[in-house]
Amino acid sequence: MEKQIRVLVANHPRLMRETILTTFADQPDIEIVGEVTDEAEIPKSVDQTLPDFLVISQHQFGERPSVCDVVLRQHPDLKIIAVAADQNYTVHYWVSLDFHSRDVEASEQGILQIVRGKSKTIVSQG
């Protein structure tokens, strides 16, 4: 069996967080290592759970959430998926020698492809 993909979910609002948790619950290769309801607790929860992926809210279209800078400096191997449900927009952030992002399909399939390392750059229209 392949290594489980560890995911920490810290998305707001609650309904979106529950939708994301439900999406991952049916995936045998994905382990939910925690759920964060208070954004201020995200860095501490990342330190404690050491996830492969962090799923957060994308509040401003086109603007990287500040928590990305905080956690990616401490955990450069972490990958972040930021979901803006009200704008039907999802972004994948990661670090190499710089911050990166790419628009991805704003769907369950788009998020699962990112988690499994199989995503392509897809910009949804609509």
In the three-class reduction of DSSP (H, G, I as helix; E, B as strand; rest coil), residue 48 is classed as helix
What's the rounded mean pLDDT across residues 10-16? 82
Digit-coded pLDDT (tens) for 107-119: 989 889 888 887 6
Distance in angstroms (rounded) separating the CA atoms of residues 73 and 5? 21
Separation between Cα atoms, residue 102 and residue 90, nearest integer Å:
9
For residue 115, count other CB atoms closer than 10 A to its CB.
22
The model's pTM: 0.76
Q: Are 51 and 7 in contact (CB under 8 A)?
A: yes
Domains of the chain: 5-115 (3.40.50.2300)
Write out pLDDT tens, residues 62-106: 789 999 999 999 999 999 999 987 778 899 999 876 677 888 888
Q: Which value, in Å, is the radius of gyration of the alpha carbons in the chain?
A: 13
